[in-house]
A and B are shown apart, each in its own frame.
Chain A
Amino acid sequence: MSELSIQHSTRNAADERQRGGGVTHTVKLTVNGVEREVAVEPRMLLADTLRQQCGLTGTHIGCEQGVCGACTVLVDGLPARSCLLFTVAVAGREIETVESLENPDGSLNSLQQSFQDHHGLQCGFCTAGILMSLTALFREEPSPDETTVRDQVQGHLCRCTGYQQLVEAAMAESGRNAQVTR
């Protein structure tokens, strides 16, 4: 993909300046409850802002074209692919990343722990995105059935687990929530 972008990137620096390149916008957004102010070019993607400017490298960038789901974060509570959002366009909105999930004492939260217990990850590259999609689901529906869980993670690619263990991890969380709310 990098080769493709190099081929298409034939404009010179002057041309890029004329097209708004180099112009920075100051953007305020809330990331994991903390208000942040970042200076970005319009073309800066939220995924890159989170990693490079906020230092939150838990959000992984996989395909950078909205297919793999690795970079999924929550925007105002809804799962979204941060490689398809321009940082300037999410000014004022509330972003949540995988770094927000841990318990206050720094230990894994129950969903994360469940992933560890059920081998819901192997290399871990896709895990942050999957956890964020599932977090959005569990907030809305604390004990979903397996079909709902599978629907929720359909937009994520995982090359290690074959998906079975991560679904088992989510179902364990679902079962725990059902007992708590009963």
Chain B
Amino acid sequence: MKPAPFGYHRPATVAEAVALLDALQDDVKVLAGGQSLVPLMNFRLSVPAELVDINGIAELTGHDVTGDVLRLGALTRHHELERSATVRGAAPLLALAAPYIGHPQIRSMGTLGGSLSHADPAAELPAIMLALDARMVAASARGERIVPAAEFFVSHFTTALEPDELLTAVEVPVAAERTGHAFLEVAARYGDFALVGAGAAVTVDEDGAITEARIGCTSVAPTPVRAAAAEELLRGATPDADVLAEVERVVAGALEPTPELKASAAYKRRTAGVLVARAVRQAWREAGGDMRGEEAA
């Protein structure tokens, strides 16, 4: 038993949870899946005086599609993202990225809301939420507000959530028709933290030209990064070798990665460029973009 002592609270509703966060103020942590928080507590790098365990809150579980929005409860476990037919149909990028999150034992317990709130710069899900323009639903005793993903990730391990706020759900736009998806990652070993990761959602028209590209990168900056210049370049284009070389160049050129033990800034820059180009190509094929190419061949 390594963690320092703490007071334990297990609210049954969001209203109870946010009342607790309001009352306990600064020295409180929210316990969701605990796969990042508990190791920190075991090391006593995190010593919260109070813990609010949200695992008993039924309204934070489950996911469903209403109209063109996939709403995921904050307690959606990573293994649900991996296996849910609804997720695979509505937001395939989430299903593709989920197997890269830690190991099976972590995915049993780890939650979507926990991963996003923790905002680890090497995490997969924040980059995808950014690329898909997801909307974060944050509740507090003061009410509910929506934070766009583009404003949610502030820095490493830092989000736009106020100390009294709880991330309750995430709303993800359902993928458009003729959209292909790919997620690629390089790690020292499978299941390790990403050295670089990239996800792409590519929508094509009947002729295979790209109408929209959404690209998110992870582990290349203190926050997830959207490859906006590459997205702009791809709009209206067909990703042939020249276009992909240009994509690689603009992605690498736009990044200023923080070097880490296993990967220098130069390595991250170059790898991000390559992964984005590959992911775009793969997503474009999956969208049916190269049908003409195949016919011609």
Interface residues of A in 1-28 (CB under 8 A from B): 1, 4-5, 8-9, 11, 16-17, 19-23, 25
Q: Which secondary structure characterizes the binding site on chain B?
A: loop
What's the minimum C-beta distance from B98 to chain A, rounded to whole angstroms?
13
Question: Which of A1, A43, A80 touches B4 (beta carbons < 8 Å)?
Answer: A43
Contact mask A54-91 → B, CB, 8 Å, 1/0? 00000000001110010010010011110111101100
Summed over the interface, the residue pairs from A and B with CB atoms below 8 Å come to a total of: 127
Distance in angstroms between the alpha carbons of A75 and B108 in the assembled complex: 9
Contact mask A88-127 → B, CB, 8 Å, 1/0? 1100000000000000000000000000000000000000
Q: Which residue of B lies closest to A22 (CB)?
A: B5
B43, A1: Cβ atoms closer than 8 Å: yes
Any chain B CB within 8 A of the CB of A42? Answer: yes
B44, A9: Cβ atoms closer than 8 Å: yes
Question: Which of A20, A22, A85 touches B38 (beta carbons < 8 Å)?
Answer: A85
A89, B44: Cβ atoms closer than 8 Å: no
Distance in angstroms between the alpha carbons of A43 and B7 in the assembled complex: 9
Any chain A CB within 8 A of the CB of B35? Answer: yes
Distance in angstroms between the alpha carbons of A66 and B189 in the assembled complex: 16
Contact mask A144-172 → B, CB, 8 Å, 1/0? 00000001101100000000000000000
B38, A66: Cβ atoms closer than 8 Å: yes
What's the minimum C-beta distance from B78 to chain A, rounded to whole angstroms?
11
Any chain B CB within 8 A of the CB of A45? Answer: yes
Any chain A CB within 8 A of the CB of B290? Answer: no
B8, A42: Cβ atoms closer than 8 Å: yes
B3, A69: Cβ atoms closer than 8 Å: no
Any chain B CB within 8 A of the CB of A173? Answer: no
B5, A16: Cβ atoms closer than 8 Å: yes
* B residues near A69, Cβ cutoff 8 Å: 103, 105
Question: Which of B5, B109, B189 touches A43 (beta carbons < 8 Å)?
Answer: B5
Any chain A CB within 8 A of the CB of B45? Answer: yes
* A residues near B53, Cβ cutoff 8 Å: 86, 88-89
Any chain A CB within 8 A of the CB of B42? Answer: yes
* A residues near B161, Cβ cutoff 8 Å: none
Distance in angstroms between the alpha carbons of A152 and B35 in the assembled complex: 18
Interface residues of B in 102-135 (CB under 8 A from A): 102-106, 108-109
Also in contact, A65 and B42, with CB within 8 A (given A84-B34, A85-B109): yes
- Top 7 A-B pairs, shortest CB-CB distance: A155-B103, A21-B5, A20-B7, A42-B8, A8-B44, A78-B108, A43-B3
A-B contacts, 21 listed (Cβ < 8 Å): A5-B42, A8-B45, A19-B5, A20-B5, A21-B4, A21-B6, A42-B8, A43-B1, A43-B3, A43-B5, A45-B38, A64-B2, A65-B39, A78-B108, A80-B109, A81-B105, A84-B42, A85-B34, A88-B8, A88-B10, A89-B31
Q: A43-B4, A151-B99 are in contact. List 10 more A-B contacts (CB 8 A).
A: A1-B43, A20-B8, A20-B49, A21-B6, A22-B5, A25-B8, A45-B2, A75-B109, A80-B108, A88-B53
Mark B residues whose CB is within 8 Å of A: 1-8, 10, 31, 34-35, 38-39, 41-45, 47, 49-51, 53, 55, 79, 99, 102-106, 108-109, 189-191
